[in-house]
C-alpha cells in the first residue's frame, strides 16, 4: 500500500507572494500526491490491459499519469522547500560555483529569468552527472524535459498557477520575487549532497569523470 503524504512548508516566511496564492498552489500539489497514491495502488491485473496500445490504452493512460503526478510531487516538494524558511542571501559553495561557471551572479539570474520566461512549466538549475557542471534546464510540464541522472539544485515553478493570482501576466515580477525568497541554505545542502555522491561514485566505479568541487 502506497501512502505518500504531502510535505509541510512554512509559507509565512515567504515575502511578496500572498498566502492565498500559496495556499491555492499547495492544493494543486496535494492533488498530485493523491493521484500518485491512487496510481501506485492500482493493482496490475493482466486481464485489464489487453488493449495496450501506444495511441490510447489503459496502460498508456496509467503510465502518463504516473510520470506526470510523480514529477509533479517531486518538483513541488523541491520548489516549496527552496523558497521557504531560510537565508535569502546568496552564499556558500554553490554561490562560488555559479560565479565560476556563469561569470557573475547577475548573468546567472538573467539566464534563469529568461529560461523562466521562455518555458511553460519549470526552470531548474541542475548539476548533471555527465559533466559535473551546472545547467539550467527548461521544461514545459512536470514530465517534459526531465533529465535522467541530473541532480536538481534550484527549482522555479513558472506555471501560471504559481503566480497569476498575485501578478497577473507579469511573470518577470513573479520571478524576481521568487528569487528574493530563495533559501540558499537548502541550495547549498543539495549541492553538497551531490558532490558527496559524485565523489563516492568516482571512488566506487574508479571513474575519472572530473568533479571540480571538493568538500574535503
Which parts of this chain interact with Fe ion (CB under 5 A)? 157, 159, 162
Q: How far is the CB of 122 from Fe ion (least distance, A)?
A: 8
Q: How far is the CB of 123 from Fe ion (least distance, A)?
A: 12
Q: How far is the CB of 23 from Fe ion (least distance, A)?
A: 13
Comparison of 26 and 102: residue with beta carbon closer to Fe ion: 26
Using CB atoms within 10 Å of the CB of residue 124, give its burial: 0 to 12 exposed, 13 to 18 middle, 19+ buried.
buried
Residue 203 Cα distances to 13, 109, 196, angstroms:
40, 34, 11
Q: How far is the CB of 14 from Fe ion (least distance, A)?
A: 14
Closest residue to Fe ion, Cβ-based? 157
Q: Which of 96, 64, 86 is nearest to 181 (CA)?
A: 86
**CA 88, CA 176: separation in Å to the nearest integer?**
13
Comparison of 81 and 157: residue with beta carbon closer to Fe ion: 157
The answer to whether 113 and 138 have CB atoms below 8 angstroms apart is no
Comparison of 112 and 195: residue with beta carbon closer to Fe ion: 112
Comparison of 63 and 120: residue with beta carbon closer to Fe ion: 120
Q: How far is the CB of 146 from Fe ion (least distance, A)?
A: 15
**CA 61, CA 78: separation in Å to the nearest integer?**
26
Q: Which of 145, 194, 149, 147 is nearest to 158 (CA)?
A: 145
Comparison of 16 and 212: residue with beta carbon closer to Fe ion: 16
Amino acid at each position: 500500500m502506497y501512502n505518500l503524504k504531502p510535505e509541510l512548508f512554512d509559507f509565512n516566511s515567504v515575502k511578496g507572494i500572498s498566502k492565498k496564492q500559496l495556499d491555492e498552489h499547495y492544493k494543486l500539489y496535494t492533488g498530485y500526491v493523491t493521484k500518485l497514491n491512487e496510481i501506485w495502488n492500482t493493482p496490475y491485473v493482466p486481464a485489464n490491459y489487453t488493449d495496450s496500445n501506444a495511441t490510447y490504452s489503459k496502460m498508456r493512460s496509467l503510465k502518463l499519469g504516473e510520470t506526470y503526478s510523480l514529477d509533479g510531487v517531486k518538483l513541488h516538494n523541491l520548489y516549496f522547500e527552496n523558497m521557504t524558511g531560510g537565508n535569502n542571501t546568496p552564499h556558500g559553495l554553490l554561490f562560488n560555483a555559479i560565479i565560476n561557471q556563469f561569470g557573475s551572479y547577475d548573468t546567472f539570474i538573467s539566464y534563469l529569468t529568461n529560461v523562466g520566461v521562455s518555458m511553460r512549466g519549470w526552470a531548474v538549475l541542475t548539476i548533471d552527472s555527465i559533466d559535473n557542471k551546472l545547467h539550467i534546464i527548461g521544461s514545459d510540464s512536470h514530465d517534459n524535459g526531465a533529465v535522467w541522472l541530473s541532480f536538481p539544485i534550484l527549482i522555479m515553478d513558472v506555471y501560471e498557477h504559481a503566480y497569476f493570482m498575485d501578478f497577473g501576466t507579469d511573470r518577470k515580477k513573479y520571478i524576481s520575487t521568487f528569487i528574493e525568497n530563495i533559501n540558499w541554505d537548502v541550495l547549498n545542502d543539495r549541492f553538497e549532497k551531490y558532490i558527496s555522491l559524485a565523489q563516492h561514485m568516482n571512488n566506487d566505479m574508479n571513474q575519472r569523470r572530473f568533479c571540480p568541487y571538493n568538500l574535503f
